[in-house]
Amino acid sequence: MDNPTVIKLINPETQLAFDLPMLSGTLGPDVIDIRALYQQTGLFTYDPGFTSTASCSSAITYIDGEAGILLYRGYPIEQLAEKCDFLEVCYLLMHADLPNAKELKNLIKSTTEHSMVHDQLTNFYKGFRRDAHPMAIMVGVVGALSAFYHDAIDIKRPDHRYICAIRLIAKMPTIVAMCYKYSIGMPFMYPQNKLGYVENFMYMLLGSPCETYQPNPVLVRALDRILILHADHEQNASTSTVRLAGSSGANPYACVTAGIACLWGAAHGGANEAVLKMLEEIGDVTQIGHYIARAKDKNDPFRLMGFGHRVYKNYDPRAKLMRETCHEVLTELGLHDDRLFKLAMELERIALEDDYFITKRLYPNVDFYSGIVLRALGIPSTMFTAIFAMARSIGWIAQWDEMIADPEQKIGRPRQLYTGPIQRDVTPIATRS
């Protein structure tokens, strides 16, 4: 990572010059190392939203938003989506390389063995109103996991961190499915060890104790792909939240819960649910023009959900893959004439041809399509973000683990540009206007 190049910073008031070292990664822009800036110059940098700031170094995921490239541990997302399943991707994110057959078998065994949750955890669900949003339940229940696994929560021990990762990957589908079953008043379904990871999730989510449930393999593959595409995305808002929470030494379940809370927002993981809500609101192709005009109006807060991305200023590679899956699923289910799907395709066409969206480089993002796929799978839109959280848990835990093992890791503590009142004295209440 070391690079002898330096950038000179000259303070215009004092004319003092400072050398700031440049660091190079294996891919992507070089960074200016400003760690000693304040100490040397008494200055902070200002970057709300971290648009130009690398908050850490990481060897997990690489994104080139201009070129539309996404790599997990160096492997292109297109190849992973075509050739691997979600558990192989989990192994890759955790261990830095793809598993061989034996390693994958071991991961399947461990995640299968840990898929049940402690029976007392079911009590936490009962504390929620039955119409609670699944993400509210997720924040509570995943946070509660911290109270169950004192046996392996020493974050300095790699073996403890590994077992935390396995527990999270294994239990997330069970926890998410239980959120849904609770909301519709159906009994919780126990995981079935004979089923694969995604099949088992679909069984727990959509099956019932009264009937046999046989997931359709095309739909299993589609959901598996959604999980792969959402597994990690470098230092996005929720992952940065997990890292920030973890930087204080908090336990991994608490950190992942912080990530879930962040993911809930409509500008992040809530987008696929928001896409469906928006399509319902538009209602009909004849109304698209009106909504496009609203999206372009600076005085109207309305935005086209599922369009635009902080990093991708080119077509999101995940959106391309999800679009393909979307068509496969709709063909399998004979849903091409579905009202909302037709509306979505027309919206996509118009937005891609519209000057506003072209010049601002606002392309459909992965969540524009994943919402449509999940709906076709029979999954209600309120569950979409919880499924995203299930997929992203591996990214969160891999990034958290990388941070804890990083010798340069420090507690995250940003500074600020203060714009409040300067120091003043408290006056007696009777004299205050």
Which residue lies nearest ligand ACO, judged by its C-beta?
Answer: 308
Q: Which stretch binds ligand ACO (CB under 6 A): 18-26, 120-128, 192-200, 361-369?
A: 361-369
* Shortest spacing between CB 233 and ligand ACO, in angstroms: 7
* Shortest spacing between CB 274 and ligand ACO, in angstroms: 7
Which structure tokens are listed for 208? 């019932």
Closest CA to 54 of 29, 76, 72: 29
Options 224, 232, 316, 367, the catalytic residue: 367
98 vs 237 by CB, closer to ligand ACO: 237
Strands 17-23 and 31-32: antiparallel
Q: Which stretch binds ligand ACO (CB under 6 A): 121-129, 153-161, 212-220, 359-367?
A: 359-367
118 vs 360 by CB, closer to ligand ACO: 360
Q: Which listed residue (5, 57, 360, 406) binds ligand ACO by CB under 6 A?
A: 360
Residue 300: active-site member: no
* Shortest spacing between CB 426 and ligand ACO, in angstroms: 40
Q: Which listed residue (178, 195, 220, 362) binds ligand ACO by CB under 6 A?
A: 362
Q: What residues contact 353, with CB distance under 8 A and at least 6 apart?
A: none
How many angstroms separate the CA atoms of 333 and 209, rounded? 24
CB atoms within 10 A of CB 149: 16
Q: How far is CA 254 from its chain centroid? A: 16
95 vs 294 by CB, closer to ligand ACO: 294
Size of the site for ligand ACO (CB under 6 A): 18
Q: Which stretch binds ligand ACO (CB under 6 A): 5-13, 141-149, 162-170, 357-365?
A: 357-365
Options 85, 309, 316, 401, the catalytic residue: 309
Site for ligand ACO in 190-219 (CB under 6 A): none
Cβ atoms 228, 369 nearer than 8 A: no
117 vs 343 by CB, closer to ligand ACO: 343
Which structure tokens are listed for 333? 């289910």
Cβ atoms 173, 390 nearer than 8 A: yes
253 vs 369 by CB, closer to ligand ACO: 369
Q: What residues contact 94, with CB distance under 8 A and at least 6 apart?
A: 162, 165, 394, 397, 398, 401
* Shortest spacing between CB 368 and ligand ACO, in angstroms: 7
* Shortest spacing between CB 205 and ligand ACO, in angstroms: 21
* Shortest spacing between CB 299 and ligand ACO, in angstroms: 11
**Sign (positive or negative) of CA dihedral 99, 100, 104, 107:** negative
297 vs 406 by CB, closer to ligand ACO: 297
Site for ligand ACO in 262-291 (CB under 6 A): 267-269, 271
Binding to ligand ACO by CB under 6 A, coded x per residue (else -) over 299-338, reads: ----xxxxxxxx----------------------------
* Shortest spacing between CB 350 and ligand ACO, in angstroms: 13
Which structure tokens are listed for 40? 């040397």
Per CB under 6 A, 231 contacts ligand ACO: no
Q: Which listed residue (367, 374, 390, 394) binds ligand ACO by CB under 6 A?
A: 367
Residue 367: active-site member: yes
225 vs 268 by CB, closer to ligand ACO: 268
Tell the residue number behind the tokens 């997720």, with chain if given: 138
* Shortest spacing between CB 279 and ligand ACO, in angstroms: 13
Site for ligand ACO in 372-431 (CB under 6 A): none
189 vs 275 by CB, closer to ligand ACO: 275
For binding to ligand ACO (CB under 6 A), which residues are involved?
267-269, 271, 295, 303-310, 360, 362, 365-367
Active site residues: 309, 367
